[in-house]
Amino acid sequence: MQREDRLHYMDNLRALAMLAGVVFHAALAYSPLMHPIWPTADTGHALIVDIVAWFFHLFRMPLFFVVSGFFAALLVNNRGMAGFFRNRCARVLLPLLICLPLIITSLHWLTAEAAVNAAQPSPVLIWLRAYIAENGAMPYAPGWAHLWFLFYLMLFTVLVWVVSAFELARFSKKIATLHPAILPLAFPLLLTPALAGVTVPWSAPEFFLPSLWALFFFGAYFALGYQMFLSTALLERLRSRSSLWLIGGLAAYAALFWLSNGFISQGNASQHFAYALLEAYAGFWLTLWCLITAKQWLDSSNALMRWLADASYWVYLIHLPLLFAIQYRLLDVTMHWTAKFAIALMATLALSFLSYQLLVRHTVMGKLLNGRVPKKRHGIDVPKAI
């Protein structure tokens, strides 16, 4: 693969996965499942939010890690291991170190203000109000917030070097020679023990120390993406059964949602393992279908999608404080939850996109996030191929 080639479907998939995260976080305020534990939980909520939001949750981040693994292999191929490390430090580690303190501080301040001032506080804010009254300040626990995926990407960067140093890649070559039916059946089985060790659906591994289940679960998807770059025919071999992966994924999710009573019941040990099994198959098959469909329908140059692909990283970095600031205000507004959801989502996206275009795209920060500063010609951005 030449350096000037762009992989449009992978760029577009990465952008859509990140933007879907904004929609997911906006929806959680109106989720019956998250009402007891989400800071911006609103009194208005509906079962349809849980059905749709957790459906996308099953494959959104797995898809992102597949794409990340694919681009990691591309970087190693084009720039070598040293160039790959330099790129990951500049594009992943540095944004994490710059943005995390600002985001943690802003989320902490916004939540403390809402805990004290909200007239219709969420259950979490009610608890925090009592805690502040007794202790004089908000509690604090170290974590990565919604930037946890950058922390894990850096861990996987180290794992890429370990695999390369010990020549473990020879095992992945055997995967590429397997019958096309084996990977979609065996891969979710390998993921199930990791998912069985956590709640269903899985929660974000935001704690400061890495979680073993997350290392294995997301690491497996990252390795799959890495292997997809090395074995370009791998996805093509699975393409003829794409409708089967979609139908199977939908059926597995429907069974999971029904059996777990909308994720309210975690069941006994055997039931929980069955839920994890359904979750693993639903997530993997839907991820597979997204990859195949994107390669068929999104693998073309498009100015709007290219701009969104560039903006999506910045949007994801900053969206949560903006979203919380808006949704804390909406707690005291009498309005149907669908209107609040639309206002919060649209306002967050508008502010994020506007700040990217005005403050980031043509600045050092834009170069840090996207690898280059797009040129302007008569006021129109001209994309540059990597």
What pLDDT, on a 0 to 100 scale, did the predictor assign at position 320? 97
What pLDDT, on a 0 to 100 scale, did the predictor assign at position 380? 41
Of 304, 342, 344, give the one whose Cα is nearest residue 324. Answer: 344
What pLDDT, on a 0 to 100 scale, did the predictor assign at position 345? 97
pLDDT digits over 283-303, tens only? 999 999 999 999 888 888 788
Low-confidence spans in the chain with pLDDT less than 70: 1-6, 165-178, 372-386
What pLDDT, on a 0 to 100 scale, did the predictor assign at position 227? 87
SS3 category, 361: coil
Which DSSP letter does residue 300 get? S
What pLDDT, on a 0 to 100 scale, did the predictor assign at position 256? 96
Query: Cβ neighbours of residue 44 under 8 Å, at least 6 residues apart?
Result: 30, 335, 336, 337, 340
What pLDDT, on a 0 to 100 scale, did the predictor assign at position 15? 92
What pLDDT, on a 0 to 100 scale, did the predictor assign at position 235? 82
CA distances to 11, 34, 72, 168 from 80, rounded to whole Å, are 21, 44, 10, 17
Cis peptide before 201 (omega within 30 of 0): yes
User: What secondary structure does DSSP assign to 179-231, as a single string?
Assistant: -TTHHHHHHHHHHHHHHHTS-SSPPP--BSSPPHHHHHHHHHHHHHHHHHHH-
- Residue 375 exposed, middle or buried by CB count within 10 Å (0-12, 13-18, 19+): exposed
